[in-house]
Structure 1
Amino acid sequence: MAYLRTELNNLLREDPVMRIMQLNLLGSLTGQVQAPSSIANKLDAVMELLRLLEEAGFTAGAFDADDLFHLAIDEIMISTESLFNLLKPLVGERPAAETPESTAARIQLPKYNTGSSLYASATPEAGSNSPSGSRRMKLGPPRAAIFQTRSTDDLNIKIHAP
Protein backbone atom coordinates (compact mmCIF):
# COMPACT_ATOMS: atom_id res chain seq x y z
CA MET A 1 0.00 0.00 0.00
CA ALA A 2 2.80 2.42 0.81
CA TYR A 3 4.30 1.75 -2.62
CA LEU A 4 0.97 2.56 -4.32
CA ARG A 5 0.62 5.80 -2.37
CA THR A 6 4.15 6.80 -3.38
CA GLU A 7 3.35 6.03 -7.02
CA LEU A 8 0.11 8.04 -6.73
CA ASN A 9 2.04 11.01 -5.31
CA ASN A 10 4.58 10.72 -8.14
CA LEU A 11 1.79 10.69 -10.73
CA LEU A 12 0.15 13.74 -9.19
CA ARG A 13 3.46 15.59 -9.07
CA GLU A 14 4.96 14.60 -12.45
CA ASP A 15 2.07 13.98 -14.85
CA PRO A 16 1.43 17.04 -17.07
CA VAL A 17 -2.37 16.73 -16.84
CA MET A 18 -2.30 16.42 -13.05
CA ARG A 19 0.13 19.34 -12.72
CA ILE A 20 -2.18 21.58 -14.77
CA MET A 21 -5.15 20.71 -12.55
CA GLN A 22 -3.26 21.47 -9.30
CA LEU A 23 -4.99 18.70 -7.37
CA ASN A 24 -5.63 18.74 -3.64
CA LEU A 25 -6.62 15.83 -1.42
CA LEU A 26 -8.56 16.99 1.60
CA GLY A 27 -8.39 14.21 4.18
CA SER A 28 -8.00 10.70 2.85
CA LEU A 29 -9.07 8.89 -0.30
CA THR A 30 -12.80 8.22 -0.36
CA GLY A 31 -15.19 5.87 -2.07
CA GLN A 32 -14.74 3.37 -4.82
CA VAL A 33 -13.88 4.52 -8.33
CA GLN A 34 -15.50 3.57 -11.60
CA ALA A 35 -13.35 2.60 -14.57
CA PRO A 36 -13.12 5.32 -17.22
CA SER A 37 -15.11 4.66 -20.36
CA SER A 38 -13.88 5.09 -23.91
CA ILE A 39 -14.15 8.70 -25.00
CA ALA A 40 -14.25 10.35 -28.43
CA ASN A 41 -13.59 14.02 -27.63
CA LYS A 42 -11.55 16.17 -25.24
CA LEU A 43 -14.49 17.59 -23.31
CA ASP A 44 -15.78 14.12 -22.42
CA ALA A 45 -12.24 13.01 -21.54
CA VAL A 46 -11.83 15.93 -19.14
CA MET A 47 -15.29 15.30 -17.65
CA GLU A 48 -14.37 11.64 -17.15
CA LEU A 49 -11.16 12.67 -15.39
CA LEU A 50 -13.02 15.12 -13.15
CA ARG A 51 -15.57 12.40 -12.27
CA LEU A 52 -12.78 10.01 -11.31
CA LEU A 53 -11.05 12.65 -9.20
CA GLU A 54 -14.30 13.52 -7.41
CA GLU A 55 -15.03 9.86 -6.66
CA ALA A 56 -11.58 9.48 -5.09
CA GLY A 57 -11.90 12.65 -2.98
CA PHE A 58 -9.61 14.98 -4.92
CA THR A 59 -10.45 18.59 -5.65
CA ALA A 60 -8.99 20.51 -8.55
CA GLY A 61 -7.26 23.76 -7.78
CA ALA A 62 -7.54 26.94 -9.83
CA PHE A 63 -6.29 26.07 -13.29
CA ASP A 64 -6.60 27.43 -16.81
CA ALA A 65 -8.88 25.13 -18.80
CA ASP A 66 -7.19 26.23 -22.04
CA ASP A 67 -3.95 24.64 -20.83
CA LEU A 68 -5.80 21.36 -20.37
CA PHE A 69 -7.56 21.52 -23.73
CA HIS A 70 -4.28 22.22 -25.55
CA LEU A 71 -3.18 18.69 -24.63
CA ALA A 72 -3.92 15.73 -26.90
CA ILE A 73 -6.92 13.58 -26.02
CA ASP A 74 -4.62 10.55 -25.76
CA GLU A 75 -2.55 12.30 -23.11
CA ILE A 76 -5.67 13.05 -21.04
CA MET A 77 -6.94 9.48 -21.40
CA ILE A 78 -3.55 7.96 -20.47
CA SER A 79 -3.43 10.14 -17.34
CA THR A 80 -6.98 9.10 -16.45
CA GLU A 81 -6.19 5.41 -16.94
CA SER A 82 -2.97 5.71 -14.91
CA LEU A 83 -4.83 7.42 -12.09
CA PHE A 84 -7.55 4.77 -12.13
CA ASN A 85 -5.01 1.93 -12.08
CA LEU A 86 -3.35 3.43 -8.99
CA LEU A 87 -6.63 4.24 -7.21
CA LYS A 88 -8.29 0.88 -7.87
CA PRO A 89 -6.20 -1.15 -5.37
CA LEU A 90 -6.31 1.68 -2.82
CA VAL A 91 -10.06 2.39 -2.73
CA GLY A 92 -11.66 -0.38 -4.78
CA GLU A 93 -13.54 -0.42 -8.06
CA ARG A 94 -17.21 0.37 -8.47
CA PRO A 95 -18.93 -1.44 -11.35
CA ALA A 96 -20.24 0.69 -14.19
CA ALA A 97 -23.83 1.63 -13.41
CA GLU A 98 -26.50 1.37 -16.05
CA THR A 99 -28.66 4.40 -16.53
CA PRO A 100 -32.13 3.90 -15.02
CA GLU A 101 -33.77 5.02 -18.27
CA SER A 102 -32.20 2.26 -20.34
CA THR A 103 -33.15 -0.40 -17.79
CA ALA A 104 -36.76 0.81 -17.60
CA ALA A 105 -37.01 1.08 -21.38
CA ARG A 106 -35.77 -2.49 -21.85
CA ILE A 107 -38.30 -3.84 -19.36
CA GLN A 108 -41.23 -2.09 -21.06
CA LEU A 109 -40.28 -2.84 -24.65
CA PRO A 110 -42.19 -5.74 -26.20
CA LYS A 111 -40.28 -8.36 -28.18
CA TYR A 112 -42.16 -7.35 -31.30
CA ASN A 113 -43.40 -4.05 -32.65
CA THR A 114 -47.08 -3.50 -31.82
CA GLY A 115 -47.27 -0.16 -33.59
CA SER A 116 -48.56 1.59 -30.50
CA SER A 117 -46.72 4.08 -28.35
CA LEU A 118 -45.33 3.25 -24.93
CA TYR A 119 -46.55 6.60 -23.62
CA ALA A 120 -49.96 7.19 -22.07
CA SER A 121 -52.66 8.66 -24.26
CA ALA A 122 -53.72 12.26 -23.72
CA THR A 123 -57.34 11.31 -24.42
CA PRO A 124 -59.58 10.13 -21.57
CA GLU A 125 -59.85 6.56 -22.81
CA ALA A 126 -56.91 4.59 -24.06
CA GLY A 127 -57.26 4.01 -27.77
CA SER A 128 -59.87 6.72 -28.19
CA ASN A 129 -59.00 9.54 -30.55
CA SER A 130 -62.27 11.33 -29.88
CA PRO A 131 -61.94 14.70 -28.15
CA SER A 132 -65.55 14.61 -26.93
CA GLY A 133 -65.87 14.72 -23.20
CA SER A 134 -62.40 16.11 -22.71
CA ARG A 135 -61.91 19.64 -21.48
CA ARG A 136 -60.11 22.00 -23.79
CA MET A 137 -58.61 25.34 -23.08
CA LYS A 138 -60.29 28.18 -24.93
CA LEU A 139 -57.98 30.27 -27.02
CA GLY A 140 -58.19 33.98 -27.63
CA PRO A 141 -59.11 35.62 -30.95
CA PRO A 142 -57.00 34.73 -33.98
CA ARG A 143 -54.00 36.92 -34.73
CA ALA A 144 -55.64 38.38 -37.81
CA ALA A 145 -58.48 39.75 -35.69
CA ILE A 146 -56.00 41.25 -33.22
CA PHE A 147 -54.10 43.01 -36.01
CA GLN A 148 -57.33 44.32 -37.54
CA THR A 149 -58.43 45.88 -34.26
CA ARG A 150 -54.99 47.39 -33.76
CA SER A 151 -54.97 48.90 -37.24
CA THR A 152 -58.44 50.44 -36.76
CA ASP A 153 -57.34 51.80 -33.38
CA ASP A 154 -54.30 53.37 -35.05
CA LEU A 155 -56.58 55.16 -37.53
CA ASN A 156 -58.73 56.57 -34.73
CA ILE A 157 -55.81 58.20 -32.90
CA LYS A 158 -56.25 61.94 -32.73
CA ILE A 159 -53.19 64.11 -32.62
CA HIS A 160 -53.57 67.36 -30.74
CA ALA A 161 -51.34 70.13 -32.00
CA PRO A 162 -50.42 72.91 -29.52
Structure 2
Amino acid sequence: MGSDVKDRQIGQTVRSKIGAKEEYDETPDKIAMPKTEYSPMKIAPREKETTGEARERAKWQHNYGHLKTLLKTDPVFKILRPKFIGPLDKPISIPPPGTNKVDEINLILQMLDDMGVCPNAFHGDELLSCSLEQLKNAANEFVEIMIMLVGKANTPEDMIGTPSDSLRKHPAGSPHYASEDSESESDGSISIRRMSLRPSGGTF
Protein backbone atom coordinates (compact mmCIF):
# COMPACT_ATOMS: atom_id res chain seq x y z
CA MET A 1 0.00 0.00 0.00
CA GLY A 2 2.74 2.32 0.99
CA SER A 3 4.67 1.37 -2.13
CA ASP A 4 1.71 2.23 -4.37
CA VAL A 5 1.41 5.67 -2.83
CA LYS A 6 5.12 6.19 -3.25
CA ASP A 7 4.95 5.13 -6.91
CA ARG A 8 2.11 7.53 -7.57
CA GLN A 9 4.03 10.37 -5.98
CA ILE A 10 7.08 9.58 -8.11
CA GLY A 11 4.92 9.43 -11.22
CA GLN A 12 3.34 12.78 -10.46
CA THR A 13 6.76 14.28 -9.86
CA VAL A 14 8.07 12.97 -13.19
CA ARG A 15 4.98 14.12 -15.08
CA SER A 16 5.15 17.54 -13.48
CA LYS A 17 8.80 17.87 -14.55
CA ILE A 18 7.99 16.73 -18.09
CA GLY A 19 5.10 19.15 -18.25
CA ALA A 20 7.26 21.96 -17.01
CA LYS A 21 9.89 21.11 -19.63
CA GLU A 22 7.28 21.03 -22.34
CA GLU A 23 5.93 24.36 -21.16
CA TYR A 24 9.48 25.79 -21.07
CA ASP A 25 10.20 24.45 -24.54
CA GLU A 26 7.04 25.93 -25.92
CA THR A 27 7.50 29.28 -24.29
CA PRO A 28 9.98 30.74 -26.86
CA ASP A 29 7.56 29.92 -29.65
CA LYS A 30 4.73 31.67 -27.90
CA ILE A 31 6.61 34.88 -27.09
CA ALA A 32 6.32 37.49 -29.84
CA MET A 33 9.89 38.71 -30.32
CA PRO A 34 10.12 42.43 -31.16
CA LYS A 35 10.97 43.12 -34.77
CA THR A 36 14.01 45.34 -35.34
CA GLU A 37 13.98 47.29 -38.53
CA TYR A 38 17.34 48.47 -39.87
CA SER A 39 17.16 51.56 -42.02
CA PRO A 40 19.96 53.72 -43.39
CA MET A 41 20.87 56.80 -41.38
CA LYS A 42 18.94 59.79 -42.52
CA ILE A 43 20.95 63.01 -42.84
CA ALA A 44 19.14 66.22 -42.24
CA PRO A 45 18.73 68.04 -45.55
CA ARG A 46 20.93 71.10 -46.00
CA GLU A 47 19.12 74.34 -45.64
CA LYS A 48 18.37 75.81 -49.01
CA GLU A 49 20.25 78.94 -49.91
CA THR A 50 18.25 82.02 -50.53
CA THR A 51 18.47 83.65 -53.92
CA GLY A 52 20.61 86.43 -52.49
CA GLU A 53 23.04 84.02 -50.82
CA ALA A 54 23.41 81.96 -53.96
CA ARG A 55 24.04 85.10 -55.99
CA GLU A 56 26.69 86.34 -53.54
CA ARG A 57 28.41 82.95 -53.50
CA ALA A 58 28.49 82.83 -57.30
CA LYS A 59 29.85 86.37 -57.40
CA TRP A 60 32.59 85.50 -54.89
CA GLN A 61 33.61 82.41 -56.83
CA HIS A 62 33.70 84.45 -60.03
CA ASN A 63 36.00 87.06 -58.48
CA TYR A 64 38.15 84.37 -56.89
CA GLY A 65 38.61 82.85 -60.33
CA HIS A 66 39.84 86.24 -61.57
CA LEU A 67 42.33 86.35 -58.69
CA LYS A 68 43.71 82.91 -59.52
CA THR A 69 44.05 83.90 -63.17
CA LEU A 70 45.89 87.09 -62.21
CA LEU A 71 48.37 85.24 -60.00
CA LYS A 72 49.08 82.72 -62.75
CA THR A 73 49.31 85.00 -65.78
CA ASP A 74 50.54 88.41 -64.62
CA PRO A 75 54.29 88.81 -65.35
CA VAL A 76 54.99 90.11 -61.83
CA PHE A 77 53.02 87.44 -60.00
CA LYS A 78 54.47 84.74 -62.24
CA ILE A 79 57.84 85.62 -60.69
CA LEU A 80 56.46 85.67 -57.14
CA ARG A 81 54.33 82.51 -57.57
CA PRO A 82 52.29 83.32 -54.45
CA LYS A 83 50.34 80.75 -52.45
CA PHE A 84 47.47 81.23 -50.03
CA ILE A 85 48.34 80.24 -46.46
CA GLY A 86 45.11 81.35 -44.83
CA PRO A 87 41.48 82.24 -45.52
CA LEU A 88 40.60 85.41 -47.39
CA ASP A 89 38.58 87.06 -44.66
CA LYS A 90 40.45 90.29 -43.95
CA PRO A 91 39.70 93.61 -45.68
CA ILE A 92 42.60 94.90 -47.72
CA SER A 93 44.46 98.05 -46.78
CA ILE A 94 45.30 100.10 -49.84
CA PRO A 95 48.80 101.61 -49.69
CA PRO A 96 49.75 104.76 -51.61
CA PRO A 97 51.58 104.10 -54.89
CA GLY A 98 55.34 103.95 -54.97
CA THR A 99 57.47 106.41 -56.91
CA ASN A 100 59.98 103.83 -58.13
CA LYS A 101 60.36 100.12 -58.68
CA VAL A 102 61.76 99.37 -55.25
CA ASP A 103 58.86 101.11 -53.50
CA GLU A 104 56.31 99.35 -55.68
CA ILE A 105 57.90 95.94 -55.07
CA ASN A 106 57.84 96.53 -51.32
CA LEU A 107 54.19 97.57 -51.50
CA ILE A 108 53.23 94.44 -53.43
CA LEU A 109 55.03 92.18 -50.97
CA GLN A 110 53.44 94.00 -48.04
CA MET A 111 49.95 93.60 -49.50
CA LEU A 112 50.52 89.90 -50.10
CA ASP A 113 51.71 89.43 -46.54
CA ASP A 114 48.75 91.34 -45.10
CA MET A 115 46.31 89.17 -47.03
CA GLY A 116 47.91 85.88 -45.99
CA VAL A 117 49.51 85.22 -49.37
CA CYS A 118 53.08 83.92 -49.33
CA PRO A 119 55.38 84.24 -52.38
CA ASN A 120 57.76 81.46 -53.31
CA ALA A 121 61.52 82.00 -53.55
CA PHE A 122 62.50 84.49 -56.22
CA HIS A 123 65.45 86.69 -57.24
CA GLY A 124 65.24 90.43 -56.72
CA ASP A 125 66.79 91.04 -60.13
CA GLU A 126 63.83 89.29 -61.75
CA LEU A 127 61.37 91.72 -60.23
CA LEU A 128 63.58 94.70 -61.05
CA SER A 129 63.58 93.56 -64.67
CA CYS A 130 59.84 94.32 -64.75
CA SER A 131 58.88 97.82 -65.81
CA LEU A 132 57.33 100.26 -63.38
CA GLU A 133 54.13 100.07 -65.38
CA GLN A 134 54.00 96.28 -64.97
CA LEU A 135 54.53 96.56 -61.22
CA LYS A 136 51.83 99.20 -60.85
CA ASN A 137 49.37 97.27 -63.01
CA ALA A 138 49.96 94.12 -60.94
CA ALA A 139 49.35 96.02 -57.71
CA ASN A 140 46.26 97.80 -59.06
CA GLU A 141 44.61 94.63 -60.36
CA PHE A 142 45.36 92.78 -57.14
CA VAL A 143 43.80 95.58 -55.09
CA GLU A 144 40.69 95.78 -57.29
CA ILE A 145 40.02 92.05 -57.09
CA MET A 146 40.65 91.88 -53.35
CA ILE A 147 38.22 94.74 -52.75
CA MET A 148 35.52 92.74 -54.54
CA LEU A 149 36.40 89.64 -52.49
CA VAL A 150 36.96 90.97 -48.97
CA GLY A 151 36.28 94.69 -49.08
CA LYS A 152 38.48 97.65 -48.21
CA ALA A 153 39.75 98.45 -44.73
CA ASN A 154 38.95 101.88 -43.34
CA THR A 155 41.93 104.22 -43.17
CA PRO A 156 42.46 107.63 -41.54
CA GLU A 157 42.31 109.13 -45.03
CA ASP A 158 38.83 107.67 -45.47
CA MET A 159 37.70 109.23 -42.19
CA ILE A 160 38.84 112.76 -43.10
CA GLY A 161 37.95 112.49 -46.77
CA THR A 162 41.48 112.74 -48.15
CA PRO A 163 41.55 111.32 -51.70
CA SER A 164 45.02 109.79 -51.28
CA ASP A 165 43.63 106.26 -51.50
CA SER A 166 42.38 107.04 -55.01
CA LEU A 167 45.96 107.45 -56.22
CA ARG A 168 46.31 103.69 -56.40
CA LYS A 169 43.48 103.53 -58.93
CA HIS A 170 45.06 105.91 -61.45
CA PRO A 171 46.64 104.10 -64.40
CA ALA A 172 50.37 104.12 -64.85
CA GLY A 173 51.57 107.13 -66.80
CA SER A 174 49.11 109.56 -65.17
CA PRO A 175 50.42 112.76 -63.49
CA HIS A 176 50.34 110.94 -60.14
CA TYR A 177 53.15 108.67 -61.28
CA ALA A 178 56.70 109.39 -62.30
CA SER A 179 57.31 109.07 -66.02
CA GLU A 180 59.24 106.17 -67.48
CA ASP A 181 62.11 108.53 -68.31
CA SER A 182 62.38 109.86 -64.78
CA GLU A 183 62.06 106.33 -63.48
CA SER A 184 64.92 105.12 -65.63
CA GLU A 185 67.03 107.96 -64.29
CA SER A 186 66.11 107.20 -60.69
CA ASP A 187 66.86 103.51 -61.22
CA GLY A 188 70.42 104.39 -61.99
CA SER A 189 70.82 106.11 -58.63
CA ILE A 190 69.26 103.31 -56.61
CA SER A 191 71.64 100.81 -55.14
CA ILE A 192 70.07 97.36 -55.06
CA ARG A 193 72.00 96.61 -51.90
CA ARG A 194 70.08 99.37 -50.12
CA MET A 195 66.76 97.67 -50.86
CA SER A 196 64.77 96.89 -47.77
CA LEU A 197 64.24 93.43 -49.19
CA ARG A 198 67.55 91.71 -49.89
CA PRO A 199 70.88 92.36 -51.63
CA SER A 200 70.99 92.27 -55.42
CA GLY A 201 70.94 88.81 -56.84
CA GLY A 202 69.83 87.35 -53.53
CA THR A 203 66.99 84.90 -53.32
CA PHE A 204 63.93 86.15 -51.50
TM-score, scaled to structure 1: 0.57
Corresponding letter in the other structure for 1:31: K
Task: Give, in whole Å, the separation in 1 of the partners of 2:150 and 2:109.
Answer: 17
TM-score, scaled to structure 2: 0.46
Alignment of 1:8-157 (within 5 A): 8-97=67-156
C-alpha root-mean-square deviation of aligned residues, in Å?
A: 1.4
Runs of 4+ in 1 over 4 A off after TM superposition: none
Cα distance per residue 1:37-73 (max 9 Å; x no partner): 1221111101111111111110011011100011111
Structure 1 residue runs of 5 or longer lacking an equivalent are: 99-162
Greater fraction strand = 1
Task: Give, in whole Å, the separation in 2 of the partners of 1:53 and 1:32.
Answer: 12
Which structure has the bigger radius of gyration? 2
Aligned-residue offset at 1:97: 4.4
Task: Give, in whole Å, the separation in 2 of the partners of 1:90 and 1:73.
Answer: 26
> How many residues get paired?
98
Corresponding letter in the other structure for 1:90: L
Greater fraction helix = 2
Task: Give, in whole Å, the separation in 2 of the partners of 1:75 and 1:67.
Answer: 12
Task: Give, in whole Å, the separation in 2 of the partners of 1:33 and 1:97.
Answer: 14
Cα distance per residue 1:78-106 (max 9 Å; x no partner): 100000000012111113347xxxxxxxx
Task: Give, in whole Å, the separation in 2 of the partners of 1:51 and 1:97.
Answer: 19
Corresponding letter in the other structure for 1:80: A
Corresponding letter in the other structure for 2:155: A
Aligned-residue offset at 1:36: 3.2
Structure 2 residue runs of 5 or longer lacking an equivalent are: 1-59, 158-204
Task: Give, in whole Å, the separation in 1 of the partners of 2:114 and 2:95.
Answer: 12
